[in-house]
Amino acid sequence: MNTQISPFHLAIPVDDLKKARQFYRDILELEEGRSSQHWVDFNFFGHQLVIHYKAKSDHETTYSNPVDGKDVPVPHFGVILEWNTWETLAEKLTKKEIKFVIEPYIRFKGETGEQGTMFFYDPCGNALEFKAFKNTSQIFAK
């Protein structure tokens, strides 16, 4: 297995480019990169996140999946952070009054894969998860 992590590229739809841009830049405090009238690049913890304008569709539905007694939004994306970085981000987002779908908590406490996790939506309905593992060697543990 390759242990070097390559930056990923993820493009997501947003129905309000101005609100989404403000959220990722000001709330998550991501560095903005290139942009046009229809999209904006962000440095998402060393990865490339691009928000693309797309008008909202009437056919879009939200789904969830039960995990550890919580309804986890599906699909979702995010990043695995160092433990202290995750705690700091959780504190910042709480102070900024983010409306969490799942508030920051410790999942699988005392078990393989113990992790801090939190879920929330961006202003355009994209679900995000930020997590951290107490023991990073267990990220892919069975």
How many Cα atoms within 13 Å fall on the side-chain side of residue 46?
6
Tokens of 104: 């920051």
What digits encode the pLDDT tens for the residues 61-81? 778 888 888 899 899 999 999
pLDDT at 2: 57
Task: Give the whole-angstrom CA distance, residue 116 versus residue 109.
Answer: 9
What pLDDT band is residue 3 in, cutting at 50, 70 and 90? low
Number of domain units in the chain:
2
- Do 49 and 99 share a domain, yes or no? no
Average pLDDT of every residue of the chain? 93
What digits encode the pLDDT tens for the residues 91-125? 999 999 999 999 999 999 999 999 999 999 999 99
The domain that contains 113 carries what CATH number? 3.10.180.10
Task: Give the whole-angstrom CA distance, residue 120 versus residue 127.
Answer: 6
Cβ-contact 88, 36 below 8 angstroms = no
Residue 111: in which H helix or E strand, if any? Answer: none
Domain end marker among 55, 72, 92: 55
